[in-house]
C-alpha cells in the first residue's frame, strides 16, 4: 500500500519537481505512472524507495510514515520494495543465480532456502535454464526478466518499475507486463512508470498522469494517446 499526502519535492536551486501530490494505491492494485520526461515520474518513485525525502508532505508505505524512518533503517524499508530499472542494474561479474539471490543474501537467509526461492523466482520469469549464465550473454529482454526475478525473489509487498520496457520491443514489453499483472493478482502493489501509452492503454489499469510535477489525471486511460501526452 502506498499513500502520498500533499507531497512536494523541490531540488535545491530549481522549481518544484513534484507539487502537492495526493494519491493512494491499495495493496494488490496495479497502476501506471506516466507523463513527459521531466514530469516527475522518477522523483515520485524515488520518494517511495527513500532514495530522496520530500520537501513537504508525507509518504506512507504499508502504513509506515517514511518521514519517521531513520537512515539506519532505510535498508529494511527497501527490502519490502522490489525495484526494477530501465537499465536493469545487474551485476555483470556474477551469474544470473547470484544476481537474483542477492536480496536474500543481504537478508541473511539460509543457503538451501535461497536456492529454492531463486529457482522459483527464475521459473516465474521463464529463465530457470539460465541460472548459471552471466547477464552479458543474455538478450535485453532476458536481462530485464532477471531484474524482475531479483525484485520479486523476497516477495515484496510493493513492486516499483521505472521504464521497465524502455529498451524492449512491443512483444517483449507485453510479456514483461504480463509478469507484473501476475504479481498484482497475488496481492502485490505494482506501480510502473512508463511513457509507452499504447501499452498502458492496452493493459487498461489505473493510470496516474504527471505534468510539470503536478498530478493532472488519475483514472483508466481511454483517451487517445496524443491528448494524454500533451
Q: Which of 69, 109, 128, 172 is close enough to bind other proteins by CB under 8 A?
A: 109
Q: Which of 6, 22, 65, 111 is close enough to bind other proteins by CB under 8 A?
A: 111
User: Binding string to other proteins for residues 11 to 50, with x set by CB under 8 A, is what?
Assistant: --------------------------------------x-
Q: What is the largest CA-CA distance in the chain?
A: 52
Asked if 91 is part of the footprint of other proteins (rule: CB under 8 A), the reply reads yes
Q: Crossing angle for the helix pair 140-152 and 111-124, nearest 10 degrees?
A: 130
Report in angstroms how near the CB of residue 77 gets to other proteins at its nearest.
8
Beta carbons of 216 and 209 less than 8 angstroms apart: yes
Report in angstroms how near the CB of residue 91 gets to other proteins at its nearest.
6
Stretch near other proteins under the rule CB under 8 A, chosen from 105-113, 118-126, 162-170, 222-230: 105-113
Task: Please name which of 84, 102, 89, 74 lies closest in space to residue 159, comparing C-alpha atoms.
Answer: 84
Size of the site for other proteins (CB under 8 A): 23
Contacts of other proteins in 129-168 (CB under 8 A): 150-151
For residues 27 and 76, which CB has a smaller minimum distance to other proteins in the complex? 76
Query: Residue 97: helix, strand or coil by DSSP?
Result: helix
Stretch near other proteins under the rule CB under 8 A, chosen from 103-111, 120-128, 161-169, 182-190: 103-111
Burial class (CB in 10 A: 0-12, 13-18, 19+), 113: exposed
Sort strands 214-220 and 206-211 into parallel, antiparallel or unpaired: antiparallel
Cell of 200: 498502458
Beta carbons of 183 and 159 less than 8 angstroms apart: yes
- Number of C-alpha atoms within 13 angstroms, CB side, residue 37? 2
Asked if 78 is part of the footprint of other proteins (rule: CB under 8 A), the reply reads yes
Question: Which residues bind to other proteins, rule: CB under 8 A?
Answer: 49, 51, 72, 75-79, 83, 89-91, 102-103, 105-111, 150-151
Amino acid at each position: 500500500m502506498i499513500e502520498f499526502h500533499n507531497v512536494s519535492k523541490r531540488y535545491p536551486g530549481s522549481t518544484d519537481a513534484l507539487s502537492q501530490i495526493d494519491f493512494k494505491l491499495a495493496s494488490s492494485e496495479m497502476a501506471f505512472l506516466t507523463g513527459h520526461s521531466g514530469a516527475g515520474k522518477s522523483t515520485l518513485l524515488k520518494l517511495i524507495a527513500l532514495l530522496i525525502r520530500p520537501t513537504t508532505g508525507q509518504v506512507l508505505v504499508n502504513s509506515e510514515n517514511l518521514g519517521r524512518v531513520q537512515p539506519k533503517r532505510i535498508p529494511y524499508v527497501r527490502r519490502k520494495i522490489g525495484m526494477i530499472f530501465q537499465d536493469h542494474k545487474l551485476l555483470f561479474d556474477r551469474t544470473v543465480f547470484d544476481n537474483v539471490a542477492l536480496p536474500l543474501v543481504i537478508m541473511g537467509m539460509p543457503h538451501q532456502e535461497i536456492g529454492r526461492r531463486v529457482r522459483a523466482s527464475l521459473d516465474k520469469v521463464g529463465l530457470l535454464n539460465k541460472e548459471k549464465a552471466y547477464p552479458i550473454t543474455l538478450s535485453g529482454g532476458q536481462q530485464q526478466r532477471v531484474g524482475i526475478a531479483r525484485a520479486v525473489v523476497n516477495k515484496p509487498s510493493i513492486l516499483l518499475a521505472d521504464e521497465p520496457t524502455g529498451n524492449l520491443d512491443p512483444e517483449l514489453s507485453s510479456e514483461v507486463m504480463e509478469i507484473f499483472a501476475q504479481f498484482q493478482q497475488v496481492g502485490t502493489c505494482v506501480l510502473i512508470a512508463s511513457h509507452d501509452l499504447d501499452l498502458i492503454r492496452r493493459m487498461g489499469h489505473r493510470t496516474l498522469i504527471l505534468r510539470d510535477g503536478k498530478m493532472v489525471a488519475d483514472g483508466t486511460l481511454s483517451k487517445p494517446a496524443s491528448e494524454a501526452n500533451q
